[in-house]
Amino acid sequence: MPKPVGIHKGVLKELGPSIGEASNDMSSSTYSYVQFDDGTMLRNLVAIGGLDGKLEAALKSKELVELHVQPAMQKKSLLLAVNVGGQLYANEPTGTLFFWWVGVAVMAILGLATIWVFGLGLLFWAFAFYLWLSISLVRATKRYVRGLRGAVLL
């Protein structure tokens, strides 16, 4: 099941180097680390949409900032919201989950059909389970962002 969203508060001290990616639908920046004045450090933080700009503005302002971070299933965490200067900015993952659900169904059917072939079906069921966990994570993330009252969606 999805891990709970972590809320980190403090004054930003430093943003590590970032790698930016852009597609037709979305842009993202992956920061190698984000460090607070108290020494707290978040590693491999992905900021989607316009949140990377808000993060850099929070670093320059030296104000108290609040970061809402969704721990991911891999080594990267996702920045969902930034509260700086009393204003909450958020971005939720976009897109449909239809093809992910189709993938779960296909993997489950293939698993059932190939279970007799040296247990190959178990591998397909494991893939289906991993896809289902990914869908659960995306749905929980969308619910969390939609539940943020007064947030400006970027």
Q: What is the pLDDT of residue 73?
A: 59
Whether the full predicted model's pTM is greater than 0.85, yes or no, is: no
Structural domain includes residue 76: yes
Six token digits for residue 77: 């965490």
Identify whether 113 is part of a domain: no
Tens-digit pLDDT profile for residues 15-40: 888 887 776 666 788 899 999 999 88
Q: Which residues contact 116 (CB under 8 A, 6 or more apart)?
A: none
The pLDDT value recorded for residue 98 is 92
Q: Does residue 62 lie within any of the structural domains?
A: yes
Taking only the tens place, the pLDDT of each residue in 51-93 is: 888 888 888 988 899 999 988 656 888 889 999 888 999 987 7
Residue 33 located in a structural domain = yes
pLDDT digits over 83-129, tens only?
Answer: 988 899 998 777 788 999 999 999 999 999 998 888 888 999 999 99
Is residue 56, in this structure, part of any structural domain at all? yes
Nearest 5°: the CA angle 145, 140, 89 is 15
For residue 99, being part of any structural domain is answered with no
Number of structural domains, the chain?
1
What distance in Å separates the CA atoms of residue 144 and residue 129, rounded to the nearest whole number?
A: 22
Cα torsion 91, 94, 100, 102: sign: positive
Neighbours of 74 (CB within 10 A): 7
Q: Does the residue 45 lie in any domain?
A: yes
Distance CA 67, CA 84 (A): 9
The whole domain housing 80 covers: 6-92+147-153
Show the tokens assigned to 116: 């007799």
Residues of the chain by 3-state class (helix, strand, coil), percent to 5: 35, 35, 30
The answer to whether residue 53 is domain-embedded is: yes
Domain harbouring 13, CATH code: 2.40.50
